[in-house]
Each structure stands twice: as structure tokens, then as C-alpha cells.
Amino acid sequence: MHKLGCFLLGTCGLYALEESPWLNDVYAFSSKTLVSYDQYRTVQGALVQPEQMNRDYVTMFSMMMTPTETIECEGELELARTPRQTYGFRSFAAAARLSFLDDIAGDIVSLVAGINLRSVTGRAVRDISSPYAAYFNGELTCSLGKEFSTKEGDWTTRGYCLGTLGLGNQGSLWDRLNVVFEGKFFKHHIIQVFSLGYFGYGSGQKIHIDDFHGWGAVSHSSIDMGLQYRYHFSLWGDLGVSYAYRIYARLYPEHVQTCVFSYILPFSFF
């Protein structure tokens, strides 16, 4: 499979929906499980800071299928526990992606565009640890990348960038810009370096932690840098761990440290 395991953790929570510009093989399925822990002490621009360290736990389950050579679909269920939310359902998302160019098939680069739709619970929208703008969120995505392979066709290095434009049922536009580079060593070991940017264009210039109504109303921005290691088991998928640190935040949780454990299993009924 071209891009098994090539995913990103998101900003102060997760955007675990697939974002790379490579699709799986036709008729292939893959399941993804992610367990995330993050912590932060302060929120930049908050009128009153949290009384204690915020520790957030997130679990995500997703299923992906590729019905044609150019179309891929994915569904995702997210559970979370934060200081303001007991462990339980946080969001459900559905995504569809369309491939326009594929460098594996001979094009200069790979280009994939898609749409993400996400429904979020009310208590999660009102939680500063949840990264979502509104109760219903729509996002257009575009991913551009290039892969370098051996003569045998197995990739050795690759990189891509992702740009998005999102809008919810309340608040203003947001966008994300993610840049990813990764290399494979000795066929099974994969190292990934990534940068994640998240920018909201709301009018709000202050944050009331105890009277919060979603990031869609806030003019926020953040940049995370991170590193991921994965071990590729061939038929049994990828097992990985990643760490990210927030190097910049404006009107958003700052100095966030995030650790993610992941497992992706490919399978097919055909």
C-alpha cells in the first residue's frame, strides 16, 4: 500500500483523518486506532488561567476504504476525557478524497483533494481542550506530495504538504497548514518529522475558559513541531509513537506536549 501509516496528529487534540496524497490499493481497507495524551498549563490570552495542569486523553477509531483507483472514504469515532469532560463520545467524522495526480503511476507529483465533515458534542465545543470550531464542521483539503523509491518500487523518502479551509455552523473560517517529511530505513523502520499549523479567523481577542463557545469565534493561531517513529510489519500494518511540542500559540493553549500511540491494520475482502 502506497501510504499506509502516513497520518498526522492534530492540534491540541487530533485530526486523525488521512491527509497524505497517496491512496491505498483498490478495494483495500484499513483500520486505525490512536491513543493520545497531551498536557498544558496555560492558555495564551486567557483572562483567567486554568487552576491546574490540563491533562487530556483522546482515543480515535477509524475505518478507511478505497472503492476505486481515485476515490477513498473514511469514517472516524473520537472519545475524550479532559478536566471539563468525563470520558466519552466527543466527535464523529466522515471524509472523502479524490486523487488527481499520482507520482507512483508516473505523474510528477501526487495531488489529492477532499472534504471532511465532523459533528461535535456541545460539551466538547465548550471545552478549550477540544480543537473544533463549532458543532458541525466542514473542511476542504488539498494535499501535494512526492515520493522517491528504489528500483524495486519500495519508497525510501517522501514528503508532502497539506492545506485546508474550514467553516462551521458558527464562528469564522479557519485553515491548517501541515508539512511532513519521512524516511524508511531497513524496510521496516520509519522516521517522520512534521510541522502543524492551525489558524482561526474569528473576531474574538480574549478567552473566557469558563464561558467558552468554540474556537470558531476566536482569532487564534498555533504551530506544533513533532517527530514520529513507526515500525512496519508488512501484512500486519504499522505500530507507531509520536511526540509534538507547541512552539508558538496566540489565543490558544500554549507549550502543549502531545504523545500519540497508533496502530494501523490493512485488510481486504477481495
Task: Give 83-98 pLDDT, tens digit per residue.
Answer: 999 999 999 999 999 9
More confident residue, 12 or 174: 174
Nearest-Å Rg of the Cα atoms of the chain is 18
29, 266 contact by CB (below 8 A): yes
pLDDT band at 1 (very low <50, low <70, confident <90, very high): very low
**Is residue 8 a part of any domain in this protein?**
no
| 5: in domain | no
8 pLDDT band, cuts 50/70/90, is low
**10-34 per-position pLDDT tens digit:** 444 456 789 999 999 899 999 999 9
The pLDDT value recorded for residue 103 is 92
Amino acid at 70: T
84 located within any domain: yes
Predicted pLDDT at 234:
79
* Number of domains the chain contains: 1
Contact 83, 52 (CB under 8 A): yes
Tell whether 161 is covered by a domain.
yes
Give helix then strand counts, H and E, for the chain. Answer: 1, 14
Residues near 64 by Cβ (< 8 Å), separated by ≥ 6? 18, 24, 29, 30, 31, 32, 72, 73, 74
Q: What is the pLDDT of residues 37-64, one digit of tens each?
A: 999 999 999 999 998 899 999 999 999 9
Range of the domain at 242: 28-268
Angstrom distance (rounded) from CA 1 to CA 132? 31
Domain presence at residue 14: no
pLDDT per residue as tens digits for the range 240-250: 999 999 999 99
Grid cell for residue 220: 487564534
The DSSP line for 52-121 is S-EEEEEEEEEEEE--SSSEEEEEEEEEEEETTEEEEEEEEEEEEEEEEE-GGGT-SSEEEEEEEEEEE-
pLDDT confidence band for 270 (50 / 70 / 90): low
7 pLDDT higher than 90 = no
- Mean pLDDT, rounded, of the chain: 91
CA atoms of 208 and 49, how far apart (whole Å): 9
pTM here is: 0.91
Asked whether residue 9 is domain-assigned, the answer is no
pLDDT band at 4 (very low <50, low <70, confident <90, very high): low
Identify whether 209 is part of a domain: yes
Confidence at 99, pLDDT banded by 50, 70, 90:
very high
pLDDT at 152 over 80: no
Kindly state whether residue 73 falls inside one of the protein's structural domains: yes
For 7-26, letters b (16+ CB in 10 Å) and e give bbbbbbbbbbbbbbbbbbee
pLDDT interval class at 150 (50, 70, 90): confident
And the C-alpha cell for 189?
523502520
Say what the pLDDT of residue 5 is.
47
Q: How confident is the model at residue 187 (pLDDT cuts 50, 70, 90)?
A: confident
The CATH number of the domain holding residue 81 is 2.40.128.130
Pairing of strands 257-268, 54-65: unpaired
